[in-house]
Amino acid sequence: MSESSWHRIRSDEPPAVQLNNISRRGNLTPEDADIDAAEEHWGDLRTVVPPTYPESTAGSVTFLPVTLDDSVVGYISAADDGTSAGYLPRAVAGEAGRMAGGLWVSRFWDAYAAKLTPVQAIRRARTLQTSQAHLFGFVAAAATERHLPTLAELYRFAGVPHPNHT
């Protein structure tokens, strides 16, 4: 660990990053991120995902469209038997559909923590407001619930390959 990259004020405080190599766009360069030094100070670094619903089911699903810029970019779905919920981007939505998934995944974390059933979670989405609707889309209050006999059918409907069916 070089003193020019990290400075410690006291041993019980996290290291402060010296930002000498910020690019014109404001991004850190790889030299600024000394992962080994951070792990030495804080221990093993890892992402912890909050508990949420499983994403897969063998049974029927209820789903609602997620709209962004007047186009459906994906679907939020719930297993009718209460075992799972998730977000599925539409293939034709491309990157916008995948990006929208980030918000919807976090909303499922919140719904799970609030002990909502998966179907309650997707129905609640009609009432959720976001200042980031221009990035992540929304579920219209008047959106019609649709049903399919399997999650695999929803994957086909969205135009994406099902992970268990190649």
pLDDT in tens, 65-115: 999 989 999 999 999 999 999 999 999 999 999 999 988 998 999 999 999
Cβ within 8 Å of residue 52, ≥6 positions away: 85, 105, 108, 109, 112
Nearest to 155, CA basis, from 101, 99, 88, 96: 88
| Spatial distance between the Cα atoms of 143 and 126, rounded to a whole number of angstroms | 8
**Domain segments of the chain as ranges:** 6-42, 61-158
pLDDT of residue 48: 79
pLDDT above 90: residue 39: no
Q: Is 138 helix (H, G, I), strand (E, B) or coil?
A: strand
